Amino acid sequence: MTETVQLALDEIKPLCEKVLRHNGYGEAHVSAIAHMLYTCQLDDCQSHGLFRLLMCIDTMRNGKIDGNAEPVIAPSSNAIVKADACNAMSLLAVEKALPELINKARQHGIAALAINNCYHFSALWPEVERLASEGLAAMAMVPSHSWVAPAGGKRGSLGTNPIAFSWPRPGQNPFTFDFATSAFARGEIELYRRAGKPLPDGVAVDRDGKPTTDPQAAMDGAMLTFGGYKGSALSIMVELLAGPLIDDLTSLESMEHAAGLGGAPYHGEVILAFDLAQFNGARMEENDARAERLFSDIIDQGARLPSQRRYAARARNLERGYVEVSKQLHDDILKFLE
Amino acid sequence: MTETVQLALDEIKPLCEKVLRHNGYGEAHVSAIAHMLYTCQLDDCQSHGLFRLLMCIDTMRNGKIDGNAEPVIAPSSNAIVKADACNAMSLLAVEKALPELINKARQHGIAALAINNCYHFSALWPEVERLASEGLAAMAMVPSHSWVAPAGGKRGSLGTNPIAFSWPRPGQNPFTFDFATSAFARGEIELYRRAGKPLPDGVAVDRDGKPTTDPQAAMDGAMLTFGGYKGSALSIMVELLAGPLIDDLTSLESMEHAAGLGGAPYHGEVILAFDLAQFNGARMEENDARAERLFSDIIDQGARLPSQRRYAARARNLERGYVEVSKQLHDDILKFLE
């Protein structure tokens, strides 16, 4: 069993802030990043919680990121908000631009936010859930690095390319999903490699494009998309909407930009927001009831809605007042304060 | 081998028009439907070409559809076009509303079209490709009937819920996909049943929620989504965006509306359109080049882009001047003229 440490909820942000500050992030970025790490850790989202501090520090040590850049939101009269992160982490730009996206969605009925020139390490669900908390439906997409082969291919062209979606539900947690269009997350393959375990079938190909269950061969070769040619098509859509649509890098270009260094990939992000009342002719109650009936029909047959486990973890952690993280991770994080 | 007949390209629309007219569709609908059937048949899209005439006639014979209704486009100042199909087939409403969607996308940068109160039988790719031919990226979604179980479930809650996407490519066919979020199309299961062939694994469950490869047990039970819990999450998103978002029926409600009768399902449709120039700051050439590099990287490794086979069929059929359909289907269609 992994040895864990308990962190009180009110210790999480100060710890993150201290580490980020100590490693070159300016106050505004420290605050935005720490808030994201706290949000994910609170939900037991181990892959995107405190663990990502390591990636934030790596990214800073690579020397390309600007730890102090102020994002620039371009004024516009259409339904598109363009936020230039100016070579910094994405989160401060998102934080500054979301109120404007919300305004635009309420004004036009549908609106989009393009974040450009950002390093990106974070889960997408906190951003779409933030919009759902304002009563908007939302969808978000980002590319990453070209580790993933298209259906029928044998080498990486696509990123892990997550899609997140959130739909507001009055009086309860929203319907939310956030998943990679790759069959596995990159980090999962690394975990299998460390554990010396074979991968499941259908997750990766080796450098000759042959199916493999060997984690090292997979890392030297390419990952596959989920759901065969359909997942591959969706992944290409993510490349297009979060890349050329918003004048930012594809996963191929992002990989080149990194030039073999680790840390967070550098690319754009796109978020769409939908104002429910304008779409449904202000028939909110009838349509909330319609959505609730669908959710009930799913739950009543023993199926789970996406994120149910995460919401349960959040409730439990809020109740008990602490989260658990691996001692190893905690030790690694403390070293960044030396 | 299936016996086929050759139909000259200029015979297809007149044949469809004659059949539709003879069976109660008014001229405006006749023309819109025949155009869709021609478009699909031209690309050898057998499941959505002339074959769908049967569903159009079935729908009329069920007695609920209005064969003459004029769609009503509501004026709006936001980025949402609302088109009421008024109980008729969707296509005339789409035809009338698309120019307004295009205007709205050019005005606001992003726009949405909601088609309400329509019977729907058609592929989505002709609609998103029509928008791509105007230089817009586009996404379309519809529910259907609740034949599909959510991940972890055992009975139908979701429709086959297709998602289509198209991205314009200067000087060549767009990047387009159009697929059901169910693992199989409904019609495919019926084809396996008729052929007495077992289904592949992972396509369906029986009425007890157990995995089955028996087509009849699958039709009595439920279909599954593609790609496990991720495909299931996407399918729920389609329900929400093409249902409650636009004040129209979910697949559960559409199934109830049909009350056991066949024919086309009755529900809504949503189409999103993106004006590339407004998103990418008018850097069209740079971003077209970026997208083309991605497409090349996919094709150069021996993978296929979605729709490549369909575009090849289109080119061949335009060149030779005819399409081939099964003699059985052709005979069945001619019977509708009696």
Residue-wise DSSP of B223-243: EEBTTHHHHHHHHHHHHHHTT
- Mean pLDDT score, B153-170: 97
Higher pLDDT, B221 or A190: B221
Of the residues A297, A299, A305, A309, the best mutation for testing chain B's interface (the one with the most B CB atoms within 10 Å of its CB) is A297
Chain A residues with CB-CB distance to B305 below 8 A: 236
* CB-CB under 8 Å, A291 with B241: no
Question: Which chain B positions have a beta carbon within 8 Å of A184's beta carbon?
Answer: none
Q: Do A247 and B281 touch (CB under 8 A)?
A: yes
* Domain of residue A310, residue span: 71-182+225-293+305-317
> Which chain B residues have a beta carbon less than 8 Å from that of A278?
78, 80
pLDDT at A233 over 70: yes
d(CA A150, nearest CA chain B) in Å: 7
| A17, A31, A48, A254: the active-site residue | A48
- pLDDT (tens digit, 9 = 90+) per residue, A159-189? 999 999 999 999 999 999 999 999 988 878 8
B227/A229 touch (CB, cutoff 8 Å), yes or no: no
- Report pLDDT digits (tens) over A27-76: 999 999 999 999 999 999 988 999 999 999 999 999 999 999 999 999 99
Chain A CB contacts of B306 below 8 Å: 229, 233, 236
Q: What is residue A338's predicted lDDT score, i.e. its pLDDT?
A: 87
For residue B233, give both structure tokens. 């999450």
Q: Is residue A50 part of a domain?
A: no
B303 with A243: Cβ contact below 8 A: no
Q: Which amino acids of B are annotated catalytic?
A: 47-48, 188
Mutation site for A-interface testing, chosen from B128, B236, B251 by largest number of A Cβ within 10 Å? B236
Check residue B30 and give its pLDDT.
98
A136 in a structural domain: yes
How many percent of chain B have pLDDT more than 70?
A: 100
CATH number at residue B157: 3.30.1370.60
Catalytic-residue membership of A307: no
B216 occurs within a structural domain: no
Q: What pLDDT shows up at residue A187?
A: 77
Q: Looking at the domain assignment, is residue A12 inside a domain?
A: no
Q: Residue B294 is nearest to which of A108, A157, A231, comparing CB atoms?
A: A157
C-alpha span between A29 and B98 (Å, rounded)? 43
**Does a structural domain hold residue B190?**
no
Summary mean pLDDT of chain B:
96
Contact B155, B222 (CB under 8 A): yes
Mutate to test the interface with B, among A165, A230, A305 (most CBs of B within 10 A): A230
Tokens 């609170």, residue located = A42
> In this complex, do A237 and B155 lie within 8 Å of one another by their Cβ atoms?
no
Q: In B, which residues are within 8 Å of A155 by CB distance?
A: 301
Residues A186 and A194: beta-carbon distance below 8 Å = no
DSSP reduced 3-state for A325: strand
Is residue B188 a part of any domain in this protein? no
Q: How far apart are CA B333 and CA A86, in angstroms?
A: 62
pLDDT category at A109 given cuts 50, 70, 90 is very high
What's phi and psi for B163, nearest 5 deg? -125, 130
Q: Is residue B187 part of a domain?
A: no
Least confident segment among A98-102, B193-197, B263-267: B193-197
* Number of cross-chain residue pairs from A and B with Cβ atoms under 8 Å apart: 234
Q: Which of A22, A47, A76, A133 is catalytic?
A: A47
- pLDDT recorded at residue A88: 98
Question: Using CB atoms, which residue from A179, A237, A250 is nearest to B230?
Answer: A179
pLDDT at position B190 over 90 = no
Asked whether the predicted pLDDT for residue B2 surpasses 90, the reply is no
Q: Give contacts of B257 with chain A, Cβ < 8 Å.
A: none
Q: How far is CA A268 from the centre of its chain?
A: 12
Nearest CA to CA, how far is B154 from chain A (Å)? 7
Q: Is the confidence at residue B61, as pLDDT, over 80?
A: yes
Please answer whether residues A199 and A124 qualify as being in contact, where contact means their C-beta atoms are separated by less than 8 angstroms: no
Q: Check residue B18 and give its pLDDT.
A: 98
pLDDT of B107 above 70: yes
Q: What is the pLDDT of residue A1?
A: 63
Rounded distance between C-alpha atoms, residue B25 and residue B56, angstroms: 9
| pLDDT at residue A290 tops 80 | yes
A269 catalytic? Reply is no
**Residue B69 tokens, joined:** 């209704």
Neighbours of A328 (CB within 10 A): 12
pLDDT at position A194, please?
A: 84
How many Å apart are CA A42 and CA A107, to the nearest integer?
Answer: 33
Nearest to B131 by CA among B95, B162, B161, B163: B95
What is the average per-residue pLDDT within B44-52? 93
Of A188, A253, A292, A324, catalytic: A188
How far separated are the first and last CA of chain B, in Å rounded?
Answer: 28
* Cβ neighbours, 10 Å, residue A255: 21
pLDDT given for residue A190 in this prediction: 83
Q: Comparing C-alpha atoms, which of A45, A55, A187, A51 is closest to residue A129?
A: A45
pLDDT value at residue A294 = 98
Element (H, E) at B334: helix B327-335
Listed in sequence order, the DSSP H helices in chain A are 9-22, 27-42, 52-61, 90-108, 125-132, 186-195, 215-220, 228-241, 251-258, 276-279, 284-299, 308-320, 327-335
Q: How many domains does chain B have?
A: 1
ipTM over 0.95: yes
| Cβ within 8 Å, pair B231-A227 | yes
Contact A154, A209 (CB under 8 A): yes
Residue B284 falls within a domain, yes or no? yes
Exposed (0-12), middle (13-18) or buried (19+): which is A39, by Cβ within 10 Å? buried
Q: What value does the mean pLDDT take over residues B164-188?
A: 94
Give CA–CA dist B72/B8, Å, rounded. 35
Residue-level pLDDT at B1: 63
pLDDT digits (tens, 9 = 90+) for B285-325: 999 999 999 999 999 999 999 999 999 999 999 999 999 99
Sheet harboring A204-205: ordered strands across? A148-149, A222-224, A204-205, A211-212
